[in-house]
Amino acid sequence: TTRTTVTADVPTDVTSETTAPRKRMLTGDRPTGQLHLGHYVGSIENRVRLQHEYEAFFIIADLHMLTTKNTRADIDQVSANARAMVLDQLSAGIDPAKATFYLQSAIPEVTELNTLFQNLVTVPRLERVPSLKDMARSAGKDEMPYGLLGYPVLQAADILCVKGNVVPVGKDNHSHVEVTREIARRFNSLYGDVFPVPELVESEITTLVGTDGQAKMSKSIGNTILLADDAAAVRKKVGGMYTDPNRVRADIPGTVEGNPVFVYHHAFNDDAAEVADLEERYRAGRVGDVEVKEKLAAAINRFLEPMRERRAEYESQPGLVDEIIVEGTERTRDEVRAVTAEVKKAMGITGT
């Protein structure tokens, strides 16, 4: 696997960094379940890395959830999922003293920006965004809901409402960031320079395959290894993983490329010599799936162990996560109010 990281510009001038306001990172997740290894490689790894250079805002995107999940039962899960997702991110190494977490639906100015941005993009442009059709299909919708077509516009409001500069997201979100960039440019050209044009931060692995071999590990499919899984759960899930289907016996040469077990070895096993040895023996038909999987489960557990320790620390502070979400939402709302006022002023919407 080739590993190419596209990194957005990082401030190098320390003096200007201390005097000018810090650039901002905006990203997040829909509160549809707990976070998994796919989220980690697609976005969270970059969140952890970039939190020291950028002021971090992490959205809990419950309005985005409504585009595919809007029953009362779905909505009733938002609070629990929001808490779990914040805890997952703290466990993964996000520093609560640095990052701001906020609940999207508690900031009505975001929907006001969404309304104002709707006229900066065309319907055919949105119809060309590939992920929307995939989402409609996997949500079992025959026809595209209006809100789902507008998903990238609302996401532009999320990113621009805090004047986000960098957006670390997985592959399914790349085309959304492109729409945000177009909306920012269009706004600036019509009404004057208000917004930065945000940069996509691409991860090394842009889409992590599922344990079942399906293209994307996804909470909706249930082919995940959760950041919150314990060691036994990891062993069980890895033991049941999809591998090379043509390899019915250990002495048959196997294919490493695209094989989920080896994709995970490359992503999570810190012992490169072990991975190289397993690959060589797999190709030669000299190692069984059981050994490959046992070593993978051990590697993933080594990878998750520091997260488990941090999780236990945060879990021992009752009320902490709720406080983080409430305070972060208040702080973000203040920011968004100011940006919305600036937007309306630039547009000449004065209320008189």
Residue ranges for the known binding site for L-tryptophan are: 158
For 14, counting Cβ atoms within 10 Å of its Cβ (0-12 exposed, 13-18 middle, 19+ buried), the class is exposed
Instruction: Kindly state the smallest distance separating residue 151's Cβ from ligand ATP, in Å.
Output: 10
Q: Which is nearer to ligand ATP, 170 or 254 (CB)?
A: 170
- Burial label for 284, CB within 10 Å (0-12, 13-18, 19+), is exposed
Shortest distance, position 211 Cβ to ligand ATP, whole Å = 11
Shorter beta-carbon distance to ligand ATP: residue 33 or 96: 33
Tell me the window of 40-48, 90-98, 176-184, 338-346 that interacts with ligand ATP (CB under 6 A): 40-48
Stretch that binds ligand ATP, among 10-18, 89-97, 104-112, 170-178 (CB under 6 A): 170-178
CA 313 to chain centre: 24
Q: How far is the CB of 10 from ligand ATP (least distance, A)?
A: 20
CB of 133 to ligand ATP, least distance (A): 14
Residue 28 Cβ vs ligand ATP, minimum distance, rounded to whole Å: 7
Q: Is 334 helix (H, G, I), strand (E, B) or coil?
A: helix
Rank residues 144 and 346 by Cβ distance to ligand ATP and give the closer one: 144
CA atoms within 13 A on the CB side of 18: 2
Q: Which residue number has the CB closest to ligand ATP?
A: 42
170 binding ligand ATP? (CB under 6 A): yes
| Cβ 152 to ligand ATP shortest distance, Å | 13
Q: How many CB atoms lie within 10 A of CB 219?
A: 18
Shortest CB 294 distance to ligand ATP, Å: 24
Draw the binding track, 207-246, toward ligand ATP (x: CB under 6 A; -: no contact): xx-------xxxxx--------------------------
Query: Is position 180 an interface residue for ligand ATP (rule: CB under 6 A)?
Result: no
C-alpha Rg value of the chain to the nearest Å = 22
Least separation, in Å, of the C-beta of 44 and ligand ATP?
8
Structure tokens at 68: 């595919």
Of 8, 23, 25, 32, which one interacts with ligand ATP (CB under 6 A)? 32
Calpha distance 47→149 (Å, rounded):
27
Burial of 328 (0-12, 13-18, 19+ CB in 10 A): buried
Distance of CA 49 to the CA centre of its chain: 14
CB 309 within 8 A of CB 315: no
**Number of CB atoms found within 10 A of residue 43's CB:** 23
Nearer to ligand ATP, 24 or 287 (CB): 24
Site for ligand ATP in 44-63 (CB under 6 A): none
Q: Quick one: 72 exposed, middle or buried, by C-beta within 10 A (0-12, 13-18, 19+)? A: exposed
Between CA 220 and CA 225, with CA 224 as vertex, the angle to 5 degrees is 150
Of the candidate spans 118-126, 169-177, 264-272, 324-332, the one that interacts with ligand ATP by CB under 6 A turns out to be: 169-177
Amino acid, single-letter form, for residue 232 = A
Per-residue CA distances from 25 to 35, 79, 177 (Å)? 19, 24, 13
Does 329 bind ligand ATP (CB under 6 A)? Our answer is no
Tell me the binding residues for ATP: 30-32, 38-39, 170-172, 208, 216-220
Among 39, 181, 237, 295, binds ligand ATP (CB under 6 A): 39
Q: Pick out the residues of the known binding site.
A: 30-32, 38-39, 158, 170-172, 208, 216-220
Residue 200's H or E segment, with its range, is strand 199-201
Contacts with ligand ATP, residue ranges (CB under 6 A): 29-30, 32, 38-39, 41-43, 169-170, 172-173, 207-208, 216-220
